[in-house]
Amino acid sequence: PVMPVMLYQPYKIGDFSRLAFNRKLAVVVVGAPATPVNYPRVRFCVSAAHSREDLADALVALGEIADELQIKFKHFPPAKSFRIFGGTTGSLSDVEKKEHHEKVRRKKEAEAARPAALEAAASLSGGRNTARFAPLHSRGAPLGDDLGTSVSTKSSQGPIDSYSLTGITSQPRTYDVLLSSQDVLGLTTDQVMKEACAATVEKLGLGSCSPRGFYGTFPPHMDVEKSIAEFLGCQEAVLYSFGACTVSSVIPALGHRSDVAVVDMGVGHGILAGLRLAKMDVRWYNHCDAEDCARVFANLEAEDGVTSARLARPGRRRWLITEACFSGTGRVAPLPTLLDLKDTHHARLILDESSSFGAMGATGRGLTEHFNVDPGRVDVIAASLENAGASVGGFCAGDTGVVAYQRLMGSGYVFSASLPPYLATAAAHAVRRIAAEPRLVARAAASAKALRDAVLAGQVPGLTTDADHGSPVIPLRLAVGAAAGDEFVLLADIAQRARGKGVGVCVARVNPLVPAKHRPPPALRAFASASRSPGDLSKALFALAEASTATLPKHALLVGDEHARGIGIPEKSTAGAAGVVAATHTSPSKFPMARIDLDGVISMNRRAELSPDTAAVKPPKSSSGVTQSAEKPPATRHSLPKGITKHSRSASASEVPEFRKTLSRSSSWVSISETDETHGTKNTHKKRLWSDGDSPQSLSVPLLVVLLYLHNLFRRYIVNQIDVTALMVPQWLSQIGIHPNNDGRRGATRVFYCVFGYAGSRGFHAMALPLLVWVFDDAFVRLVTVFYCMTSGIGCLLKGALATGASSKRPASSSLGSLMPHRVHAWPSVAGINASALPFLILRWRYGNVWIWEMSTPWIVVGDYVLAFLYMACISLARMGDGDSPANVQGGVVVGAVMLRALLLNFDWAIAGLEASSVNTAQGFTLVGVVLSCILLFPMPLDKDGEILYAASTCYRRMWRTFFYMLFFAAGSVWRVVPEGSTGPYLPESKLLMAGVICGKFAVGHALSRFSVWGISYVAQLFTEFLLRVYMRYCKPVLAGGGGRGGTKGDSSWDDDEKRKRTQVAYGTVHMRLVAITVVELAQDITGALVTAHGVPRIFDAMGI
């Protein structure tokens, strides 16, 4: 059906495509570098949808185009009478004659080789060759529409001949309710999207005909990448042509065979293919089991020689790879715990959000929004656009480095033709629609919850689901698994019956290349849908209940875990009791509010977590701890309908309405009364009169209420100012020629940002201020250092109090401390505080409190102050170009000026405190009181879940580290005693000698300081590691409740003891690790402060400089 036609003239292929499109013909032209330069071609694709009239019209139009472009061969050559060039002239008739001779020759060769080919085929089919292949065309009985096998008999797997053999043609072509459609938001029928796609086709044509790196990039491709990046809050996104090749291209592009990957056992074929291509060392953990993932990481730590208290990075790279919402089971990955493990063990996270993108979270931003975590903590986000995106393709989002690397190394990006532009338009429209209409996501979530709750409540007899709360994927599997028979055959029969009733559902297929240990259990494929009404869901459930009742045996319809083992069903076969979701891939079981016994009695689950308004009902237990079963089934209103006996294999379809009414979700679980099986009486439990919803959520006092009101009022004002002034920054920077994006930070612009960006950073002050102390060694330079610590600490306090969820774009790893390269953009800017405070403090000390007209050299003073203002302006511009808003920088300048004024009022008093002979002074106690007040009264803003904002916690951590450094630096300055007879620091008059002294003190001082900090931190690490081992061995079992009551196997106390022992593994380890990191950081800060203020000056005294 694909016919390439040679054009031979490269400069005419664009005209050919344009003229064909004007004549309503969609053709594909291919040229260099996809083909040799002299061999461009046009590709015609003929399908069964084309009629003879269409082809005739197309030939006429192509002939007109060829005549217009003068590229048509001549039927009669101009040199017909002159048989030159071997009797050929290159005309069309000569070419056709040559092709005819070649066709005859190939036919004769094929006829001669036919006997040998038939003999080889007979040897394969006769069993003389061990290599067996699936037949190209299967013969025999009609194949099932779900399995590729007959419903009645199981045959060998093979491709399906045609739809006429599958039985699908006998089903209705349209369905009243679609359960198996992955169009979660119902955007494929959006008329606005269709009109936008049609406009794109009119403008750009159908296909791109080239990879993105050649000439396959169109404006819609860049538009959808920008829309996805803005929607997810990432720096960039890259678009792939197919959803199936997205994550399978991302993993080998970023990973290396020397890396190690920790992967969930329930991942799908895309991740498995990527792991196979990357050839990484793969370590599996149980499906959605964070504790087992921690165990795998602990084993890696032991292999790499990294203990739990060590803070250094490991030697080889580690990857944590998982799906957000698993398409096979509907389970949801425990993302917050996985992120903590990723940060703790220095791994990189690749999250496949194919099923959760657009379907989870309040606004459809996926699993990160569902768990309310910062998407910046996820290193790589990959997803398919073929679910909620209502299009084709996929994307990968993350930092600029991650995306840019894939544009060079992603095989699915580099070697695949780019996505057709109109499909990119559809994807961009879907993303904008999701962002603008969160109600679509809410309706899809409500649909998923209703379907999941109905299945778990037993409205579809014999079926259950493993899906977690909030998952848009709700696979429906047999509650008893293989104990009911051939699961595929039974599920296919249920799906066929449901389709006959107008419900579109099918059996979920699994790629045959997926190993058995990674395959999910057989299930019906079901998804949430924003376009599905409650009436549609009721009809679907009714049809499934009819189909399952007519198909499944009785013990598969209603079976409990204990009763299933009692009637002889193997324990492995009873994957889950009716109403109790069983574990898959060793995942923890779920316990709904009620369960259904074999006799049809609905009872409250004794292991369920009761809601505040639900009665706590527990069935009586025997001495062995097993629930007692009555000899005669009690007559309750929730018993089996008439006609369903113990010996009947299945219930008739006419009995389903009564059964469905019995299991209706409209009946309240509180009204369910459980019969006392021992005495035959009913114990009805009343609802609670008071629920937790009436309890107060918080407690406060009038003063705190007023402070909170003022804080919120000022915070709203600052946020509004940030939003308004941030829009002015690009225009300002462009007008003065230092916009960071105009010239890519090249030349003078790059030098400006490098110099003044570093001059306003903590690293510059950490280098410069100790050097001032070592060179001049007097009370004032020490006061400058103390004042810098005070301004930085107060600035962190204000930033943390006014931080928002968007203040921290790149959160730091909690295991590496907070003083790593990580920025928090909030009011005020600490760099602005120091830029307005430190230079003017130094100038005030140098020139004193004298009016300028009374100075001997006023113009020099004016020049110095002009330089100070210019320095402050450059620092402010550099901070604005780096992401801070003008409101933040302006606030920093104002706060710095206020703090400088407060210091100047008490300047002599502060100097006297540093020159005192003891720390027990008024100045010392004041400094300690200020530090304790700031640490203990630090206002911590909370998010909607009651957790401290990450930006606030980071600022708090930086604040107390800076304050502790200030306290011990001030103490070391007081303890510093100048030797007798010393004339002070060596300050030569020669500028060259002075430069040598400064360089020497810089090198020696920082070398001694760094070595001392390293040595003390290493000792602190050894000490904390020893304490951790003592805690793990002696304290942890006691704190985790290791001294529980004993019991025998099968008893509830024995089960509780076993559960308690399992929880001891993870109890308190994270908190103890944070304590260990805090101890090490404190040791580093205290050592650095004392060495800078006391140790290094003593060494310089001994050296005489």
Residue 345 has pLDDT above 80, yes or no: yes
* Highest mean pLDDT: which range of 118-132, 595-609, 851-865: 851-865
Q: What are phi and psi of 476, to 5 degrees?
A: -105, 110
| 438-456 vs 534-551: helix crossing angle, rounded to 10 | 30
Q: Report pLDDT digits (tens) over 89-100.
A: 555 566 677 778
Q: Which amino acid is at 434?
A: I
How much of the chain exceeds pLDDT 90, in percent? Answer: 31
Average pLDDT over residues 711-740: 73
How many C-beta atoms surround the C-beta of residue 673 within 10 A?
Answer: 17
Q: Which residues pair with 318 in a beta bridge?
A: 260, 347
Residues ≥6 apart with Cβ < 8 Å to 708: 700
Cα gap 836→892, rounded to integer Å: 8
DSSP state of 740: T
Q: How confident is residue 611, by pLDDT bands cut at 50, 70 and 90? A: very low
Q: Report pLDDT digits (tens) over 229-277.
A: 999 999 999 999 999 899 999 999 999 888 999 999 999 999 999 999 9
Annotate 761-795 with DSSP letters as a single string: SHHHHHHHHHHHHHHH-SHHHHHHHHHHHHHHHHH
Give the per-residue pLDDT at 591. Answer: 35
Residue 637 has pLDDT above 80, yes or no: no
When comparing pLDDT for 403 and 598, which is higher?
403
Structure tokens at 407: 């544009």
Return the closest-CA partner of residue 211 out of 8, 407, 18: 407
Q: Report pLDDT digits (tens) over 774-822.
A: 998 888 999 999 999 999 999 999 988 888 777 765 444 433 333 344 5
Residue 110 has pLDDT above 60, yes or no: yes
Residue 579 has pLDDT above 50, yes or no: no
Return the closest-CA partner of residue 364 out of 388, 386, 384: 388
Cβ 653 vs Cβ 578: under 8 Å: no
Average pLDDT, the chain: 76
Give the per-residue pLDDT at 338. Answer: 95
Average pLDDT over residues 697-702: 66
Q: Report pLDDT digits (tens) over 346-359.
A: 899 999 999 999 99
Q: Which amino acid is at 200?
A: T
Q: How confident is residue 54, by pLDDT bands cut at 50, 70 and 90? A: confident
When comparing pLDDT for 34 and 612, which is higher?
34
Q: How confident is residue 378, by pLDDT bands cut at 50, 70 and 90? A: very high
| 950-975 vs 907-914: helix crossing angle, rounded to 10 | 60
How much of the chain exceeds pLDDT 70, in percent? Answer: 72
Residue 673 to residues 40, 611, 616, 665, Cα–Cα distance (Å)? 79, 16, 11, 16
Q: Could you give the dihedral angle defined by the CA atoms of residues 264, 265, 268 and 274, in that order, rounded to the nearest 10 degrees?
A: 70
Cα gap 462→775, rounded to integer Å: 83
Place of tokens 């803070």: 311
**pTM of the complete model:** 0.45
Q: How confident is residue 126, by pLDDT bands cut at 50, 70 and 90? A: low
Q: Report pLDDT digits (tens) over 163-213.
A: 333 344 444 467 889 899 989 998 988 889 999 999 998 888 888 878 888
Q: Report pLDDT digits (tens) over 853-911.
A: 778 888 888 899 999 999 999 998 888 877 788 888 889 999 999 999 999 888 889 99
Q: How confident is residue 976, by pLDDT bands cut at 50, 70 and 90? A: confident
Cβ 159 vs Cβ 509: under 8 Å: no
Residue 73 has pLDDT above 60, yes or no: yes
Cβ 831 vs Cβ 892: under 8 Å: yes
Give the per-residue pLDDT at 452. Answer: 92
Structure tokens at 751: 């030098």
Give the per-residue pLDDT at 833. Answer: 93
Give the per-residue pLDDT at 988. Answer: 85
Cα gap 820→823, rounded to integer Å: 9
Q: What letters, b where the CB count within 10 A reaches 16 and e where it falls short, cover 989-1023?
A: eeeeeeeebeeebbebbbebbeebbeebbeebbee
Cβ 153 vs Cβ 486: under 8 Å: no
